[in-house]
Chain A
Amino acid sequence: AQTVTQSQPEMSVQEAETVTLSCTYDTSESDYYLFWYKQPPSRQMILVIRQEAYKQQNATENRFSVNFQKAAKSFSLKISDSQLGDAAMYFCAYRSARLNDYKLSFGAGTTVTVRA
């Protein structure tokens, strides 16, 4: 079974600074998808960024970027120029690319606080 580990329960960042969230996962597969979701105080889950394992290039979405290290099974999220609206719980998630594997596994989450 795939497991996703987020070792940082909480992170704090000064507004306009950069913060990096860590995520590691365990899998024996070679093709899969990785995601970062954001859960603000409203508790609505919002997709931040996704990465296909077969792509070597790291995904980027505006101020959000990932560092995908396939061999190390690491998938960190970097938030640049942090804004107050970035304050939320962030979840790393894994999904197999196998045709009949439908499970989406999540890490325990990291709570990000942004200091004004």
Chain B
Amino acid sequence: SQTIHQWPATLVQPVGSPLSLECTVEGTSNPNLYWYRQAAGRGLQLLFYSVGIGQISSEVPQNLSASRPQDRQFILSSKKLLLSDSGFYLCAWLTRLRTEAFFGQGTRLTVV
């Protein structure tokens, strides 16, 4: 069966520090991968999505970047975090065989 792993679960980082959040999917190949951010009590904002290795589409210009070095690995990064980067980050995957997306357990990022 397919599973998705996202880590770390929580992270507290100082302003100006770098960020790396990782997401991996098991049990499927060539998934579409997504990074969403959820501000406190708010909806989900699509940040990046990827349809294949090295293929990244950015939805919102910002302080973050994404990379897909392997088929089932998706990484969210920042060189210098801002206070406004705080939030709950969710990774998701979707394949052509399924209509719905499946989500990781999320990372709660607090920038201090």
Contact = CB atoms under 8 A, between A and B. Distances in A.
Nearest to B34: A104
Contacts, number: 50
B49 A108 contact: no
Interface residues of B, number: 23
Nearest to B59: A103
A108 B43 contact: yes
B106 A102 contact: no
Given A33-B99, A52-B99, A109 B106 contact: no
A102 to B, nearest CB: 5
Interface stretch (A11-19, A40-48, A71-79, A80-88): A40-48
A108 B99 contact: no
Contact of A44 (B34, B43, B99, B106): B106
A50 B100 contact: yes
B88 interface: yes
Chain A interface bracket (under 10, 10 to 19, 20 to 34, 35 or more): 20 to 34
B43 A106 contact: yes
A24 B108 CA distance: 29
Given A91-B43, A109-B42, A104 B99 contact: no
A6 B42 CA distance: 11
- A35, A50, A103 — most chain B CB neighbours (10 Å): A103
- B34, B41, B46, B101 — most chain A CB neighbours (10 Å): B101
Interface of B: 32, 34, 36, 41-44, 46, 49, 51, 59, 88, 90, 92, 94, 99-103, 105-106, 108
